[in-house]
Every structure is written in C-alpha cells, then in structure tokens.
Amino acid sequence: MTQSFMTRHLHPHSQRLLSGRGFQIGHFLAHTMAGTSNVKSWIYTTAGYPATLTLSETTVPTTPSPHHLLVQVRASALNPVDIQLMNLSLNSSPGLNKPKIPGRDFAGVVLAAAPETQFQKGDEVMGISMSMDGTGFLTEVAHLDIRGACVVKKPSHLTWVQAASLPLVWLTARTAVEKCVAFMKDPIPANNKLVVLGGSSSTGIYMVKLAHDRGWTVLSTCSPRNIDFVRSLGANQVVDYTTSPDAVPKAVAAFKPHAILDCVGGTDCIGLAPQYVTIVGDKTNRATMGGSALYLTHPRMALRWLLGYLGLSNSYECIILQMKKEWLEEATNLQGERDIFIDSTFPFDRTKEAFERLDTGRTRGKVVVEVDG
C-alpha cells in the first residue's frame, strides 16, 4: 500500500500525530493488490492457546464495505475472553479453522468510513466488537462492521492506551451494576449494600467505583496485596479471601447485602442476597468461557435463573455486557490515571508476552498492546 493511500484517508491532525511518533507507512501497509492490502496481524486458527497464536498477515479492503470502518489500530486491550475464544474446540472444526484475529477492545484512527456509519476519515475512536466472524484488533488495520460493535469518538484527554483499556470492562461493569439498581430500594443510598467478589479484577475495579459513586455501601474481596487498592476505589469493607476457606461467605452473610456481583466464579455466595449477578458462572477455570452461554452447558445455572425469574427463589443472572453507546460515552468522562488503571503495556511484536502477563491472573488493571509501537 502506498503512502498516498494512507495519507488521503487521514485528518491533518492525525497525520501530524502519526508523523510525530515515527509512524512508517511503508512498514504499516505492505502492498496493494486487487483492492486489498496486506497488514500485520496476530491470528489464531485451531483451538489451543498459546500454540495457536502467531504473527502473520491478513487482508483488508482498501475501501470499506457498507456499515464498515477501516480503522488504523493504535492500541488494543487484552481480556480473558480472548484466551477463552482461542481455546474453543470449535476452532478446529472444518470450515471454522480459518484465521481469526483476537482482541475485542481498540482505540484508533478512522482511515475510511462507509456513509451510514456516521463517522469520518480522521476521527479518533474507541470501542469494542463482539462479532464472532474473526474480527479483532491485534492488527495494524481493522475492517470493522459497526452493526456488531459499540464505537464512540475518543476524547483528546485520554491516551490511546487508556481509551483501548475501557470498553469491555466498563460496559460489563455498567451492565452488572444496572442489574442491581432495582434491588437498591432505600432512599438513603448508603443503606443499600452491594458485594463485589473480585474487586481488584479489571471489571471489579469499575463495579466498585460505580457503586461507590452511587453512594452505596460496598464490601469487596481480594488478595492481601490489593486490600489498600480496593479500599481506595471506594470499598467500605474489604475481605482477604486467603484467610480461610469460608472467610468470604461468612463475611458476605454478616454484611447482609441487597445484591452480589461476582467476578470470581464458584457457588459459595449464591443465595446470600436477593440479587446475584455473575459474569463468570459456576466455573472457576479461567481458560473456559463464562457469561450467559454457560446456561447451555450448566443446567443448574439455568434452573437457578428460572426459579428466580418465576419468583420462587432469589434472583440469579449470568450476564454478558450490553453494548450501549450511551454507556460507553460515559467512560469518556473518566480522568486518566485517577480513574483508569493500566497494569502493563507491550509493543505489538511482544503480544505473546502480553498474553502471558494477562494469563497470570495477577494483573491490576488492563494489559494493553500498543499496535503502532
């Protein structure tokens, strides 16, 4: 791909920004053939992280399809779901073992936009795609169908890394907290009690902050090294889950919460509040998928939901995020290092190391890959 193609798709501000960072067009887009360009991408084909993850080339069109954006990716945040998707056995099935790009979250610059997207070339954007068609953002240029995505303009006060870190965790936390609002009935906010299991996790961080901002009283759990951190987020009470096997359920029962948000998994605290919302489900294995799809493979979870729905038991929900644009726009008001927590950043060619860091389960905040280096 020639430099002229790239520059004519960029707003002058973005051109100056790219040139100031030593951006090399010739390296970024290798060549053009029949209306397509080859770009560097991290891909996976068959099931089995980490062996399936490789650096390769994929093809993007030079002109976006209807409802699509061409986005030069500046940063992409990693999430456990990326590893979980790479481990799906379906990936090894005939017809499903085509190259797929991991990475759900992104921030970048619009190179070209189909008219119906309401974006323009040069727009600096951030967002998430949950499409299962192989679209991901650990790539130099993404061809993004906005019908399966949530995309907003990136505010100038957020860095690329900060913007990319937010969409999945913010929208998941926002969805989960919203599920609890109906159970917080006391007009005095502090009398409404919420438990966040896993308050130092990437999503738990924003659950605690959102609840604190509403004035609710929050109990959260974490390891000893994160107690002060979780307390600084706004948790009124923090429980060290390592003190004893039953430390958490005992503390939660004594707290008498109106709702529980679970970022950890397991069943120890189910039934201890009128509302129980989990993003993980009964499983505790980080390598396998969570979310509402577990209803299909865990009959007890489905029965628990049904009994709650019928009013025969406490309410129970296993959720995935809702991609509401207005909720993601709320995240654009967060203020840099005060509100956004980055565990570590890695250059594009060290993406495997970034995944290794994520897979430790000991991160505090997001692991982010800077795509353009």
If DSSP codes are grouped into helix, strand and coil, which group holds residue 7?
Answer: helix
Helix ranges, 225-309 (H): 227-233, 247-255, 299-309
Q: Would you state the pLDDT for residue 287?
A: 64
Report pLDDT digits (tens) over 308-321.
Answer: 999 999 999 999 99
Of 48-57, 158-167, 290-299, minimum mean pLDDT range: 290-299
SS3 per-residue string spanning 47-94: CCCCCCCEEEEEEEECCCCCCEEEEEEEEEECCHHHHHHHCCHHHHCC
Report pLDDT digits (tens) over 186-228.
Answer: 999 999 999 999 999 999 999 999 999 999 999 999 999 999 9
How crowded is the C-beta side of 348, counted as CA atoms within 13 Å? 20
Rounded CA-CA distance 175/150 in Å is: 14
**Strand 149-153 relative to strand 193-197, pairing:** unpaired
Report pLDDT digits (tens) over 60-92.
Answer: 999 999 999 999 999 999 999 999 889 888 777
Tell me what the pLDDT averaged over the chain comes to: 89
Average pLDDT over every residue of 49-64: 94
Ordered by where they begin, the domains of the chain are 3-166+346-370 (3.90.180.10), 180-318 (3.40.50.720)
Query: Residue 297 — very low, low, confident or very high, per pLDDT cuts 50/70/90?
Result: confident
Rounded CA-CA distance 165/354 in Å is: 13
Residue bearing the bigger pLDDT, 269 or 292: 269
Rounded CA-CA distance 50/244 in Å is: 33
Which residues 6+ apart lie within 8 Å of 144 measured at CB? 68, 69, 70, 71, 129, 135, 151
Beta bridge partners of 37: 32, 60
Rounded CA-CA distance 67/94 in Å is: 29
pTM for the full model? 0.89
Torsion, Cα of 132, 178, 153, 3 (10° steps): -20
Q: Would you state the pLDDT for residue 94?
A: 79
Residue bearing the bigger pLDDT, 9 or 92: 92
Report pLDDT digits (tens) over 224-270.
Answer: 999 999 999 999 999 999 999 999 999 999 999 999 999 999 999 99
Rounded CA-CA distance 212/214 in Å is: 5
Of 108-117, 248-257, 291-300, 322-331, minimum mean pLDDT range: 291-300
Q: What percent of the chain has pLDDT over 90?
A: 77
Rounded CA-CA distance 11/110 in Å is: 9
Report pLDDT digits (tens) over 21-39.
Answer: 444 444 444 444 458 899 9
